[in-house]
Amino acid sequence: MRTFSPVVRVLAACLLAVAAISVVPSPARAGQEPAPDPLVIVVNRQNPVETLSGADLRRIFLGERLTWPDRRRMTVVMRPPEDPERALLLRLVCRMSEPEYVRHLLQASFVGDASAGPKQLSTAAGVRRFIFNVPGAIGYLRVSEVDDSVKVVRVDNRPPSDAAYPLRGEGR
């Protein structure tokens, strides 16, 4: 029986391993959706705020808090109603469904608590660009959508990389 040198055997083993890695399905290929990025809260880079509590976020996105500690006017940026990230934010932060949120905003405006309501932008690039240009703006993105033009604030003093970071989940 023919024998091979150790070098050839090692290379053959590597080849088999590579082939096995290519053939064995990854979790995504096997039909398991990878866990989505956490949602991050983003503000203008000039904003000195580093962290916001869950209660702060709820008040901000419900229009009950209108100014930053430096008295700069807040401008909330939301994605459109059909967007899964918007549904996730409403569920985790506001604890509301889309119809409840719309009704809440209308009622807040009706009683004179909130004046303008959130700005609505349909793309992540649009959100980043608006927040870059408006010092008091605040919005949300997926981690993978963040770049250097905006600043990520911690939530309950936890960065998005923290396992206990609260804004994780599917949008729908």
What minimum distance in Å lies between the beta carbon of 13 and another protein? 10
Among 142, 151, 153, 155, binds another protein (CB under 8 A): 142
For another protein, the closer of residues 7 and 30 by Cβ is 7
What minimum distance in Å lies between the beta carbon of 107 and another protein? 5
As a whole number of angstroms, the distance between CA 93 and CA 166 comes to: 9
For another protein, the closer of residues 148 and 163 by Cβ is 148
Residues 68-127 that bind another protein (CB under 8 A): 71, 73, 75, 95-97, 99-100, 102-103, 106-107, 109-112, 115-116, 119-126
Segments of 11-167 assigned E as strands: 39-43, 51-52, 75-78, 119-120, 137-142, 151-155
Among 36, 84, 129, 171, binds another protein (CB under 8 A): 129
Cα 26 to its chain centre, rounded Å, is: 25
- Tell me how many degrees the CA angle 155-120-53 measures, rounded to the nearest 5: 15
Q: What would the DSSP string read from start to end of 35-80?
A: PPPPEEEEE-TT----EE-HHHHHHHHTTS--B-TT-PBPEEEE--
Residues 13-72 that bind another protein (CB under 8 A): 14-15, 18, 21-22, 53, 55, 58, 64-67, 71
3-state helix, strand, coil in the chain (%, to 5): 35, 15, 50
Residues that bind another protein (CB under 8 A): 7-8, 11-12, 14-15, 18, 21-22, 53, 55, 58, 64-67, 71, 73, 75, 95-97, 99-100, 102-103, 106-107, 109-112, 115-116, 119-126, 128-130, 132-134, 142, 144-145, 147-149
